[in-house]
Amino acid sequence: MGTHYDVIVVGAGSMGMAAGYYLSKQGVKTLLVDSFNPPHTNGSHHGDTRIIRHAYGEGREYVPFALRAQELWYELEKRTHHKIFTKTGVLVFGPKNESAFVSETMEAAKLHSLTADLLEGDQINKRWPGVTVPEHYEAIFEPNSGVLFSENCIRAYRELAEANGAKVLPYTPVEDFEISQDLVKIQTPNGTFTANKLIVSMGAWNSKLLSKLDIEIPLQPYRQVVGFFESDESKYSNDSGYPAFMVEVSNGIYYGFPSFGGCGLKIGYHSYGQQIDPDTIDREFGVYPEDENNLRLFLEKYMPGANGELKRGAVCMYTKTPDEHFVIDLHPKYSNVAIAAGFSGHGFKFSSVVGETLTQLVTTGQTEHDISIFSINRPALKKELQSN
């Protein structure tokens, strides 16, 4: 096995594996290294499913990025035997005039002329009998959005990248980096490897290892949970037309998925999580009572027919930036290094277009996508570093 490559990708999870595919598609000699064997349960991509929304409550600036991501997911589905996407539609609701997230979702849809239905209290309850909301609630339903099968996405990108000649080295944690303007070297327990260019997409481990690349980005990993609950399949299944959902209520944002094949309704509490070290995180669901209790609080009020027996729980990680926007940029000192970090619990849906963007950055030094909101030098990141 040769040890010199055109590009090394460190962290072959969501973003890294996508980048590996797009690089290999261009004939770039690519090595992907990961501490585990992707797809796996140690990062931020497991748990079967992720929502892809086009009307974006985190900021209307994301919409073109989301639409390109969707195009690329459709393209991936055509190239693989794995199921990648299902168009469930996505329902976003909350109390009228009280939810910034719902309001921004509506504004994003309007600004970008996205197909969407606007509904209020009783209309929501009638259209989806599994939902119970007060009259003063409002919703936006986006029929062209839906659900990605996250582990399948990574599996498909890996198979296609390897078929194109990319090399994937699992169980290979990076111990150290050496960087100059035209050469990068990584040291691992399985050997030392060099390349002309480097992509760093280490998920929660970015918070620990980026300092070895002579850069500081304020990143904090959090422990997150999701639960799958026994539910009335006639109301809450994908087959019955139940949508994926994002909801902002008084105690924060929840998100969830219809039951696929009897797995139960899946729900997560976006506003919950303990600060953790990714090497010592407790991966047992239920070790904290609120793991399950926070999810049930929502279900019993808004989706009571899905508040059945807990079928299973899963633990993953968010890695947040101070403003909860991503970092996708070239290293400020080394133009041959691209960094993807801080996806803050809402990044997976974009991993296709992030992979494309990283590929463009390391091969040409620029990208056709507007990634100014994700700049490594933006004021919110600098301010946080200065305050510490």
Q: Is 24 annotated as a binding residue?
A: yes
Q: Is 16 annotated as a binding residue?
A: yes
Q: Is 275 annotated as a binding residue?
A: no
Q: Is 256 annotated as a binding residue?
A: no
Q: Is 32 annotated as a binding residue?
A: yes
Residue 348 DSSP symbol: G
The angle formed by the CA atoms of residues 46, 374 and 338, to the nearest 5 degrees, is 75
Q: Is 252 annotated as a binding residue?
A: no
Q: Which of 331, 203, 224 is nearest to 268 (CA)?
A: 224
Q: Is 26 annotated as a binding residue?
A: yes
Contact status, residue 356 vs residue 76, Cβ threshold 8 Å: no
Strand ranges (E), 121-264: 137-142, 146-149, 167-169, 176-179, 184-188, 191-200, 220-229, 244-249, 252-257
Residue 142 DSSP symbol: E
Q: Is 28 annotated as a binding residue?
A: yes
Integer Cα distance of 177 and 331 in angstroms: 14
Active site residues per annotation: 46, 49-50, 266, 270, 316, 349
Q: Is 130 annotated as a binding residue?
A: no
Integer Cα distance of 4 and 30 in angstroms: 9
Q: Is 225 annotated as a binding residue?
A: no
Q: Is 147 annotated as a binding residue?
A: no
Q: Which of 13, 11, 18 is nearest to 358 (CA)?
A: 18
Annotated binding site: 6-36
Annotated binding site for FAD: 6-36
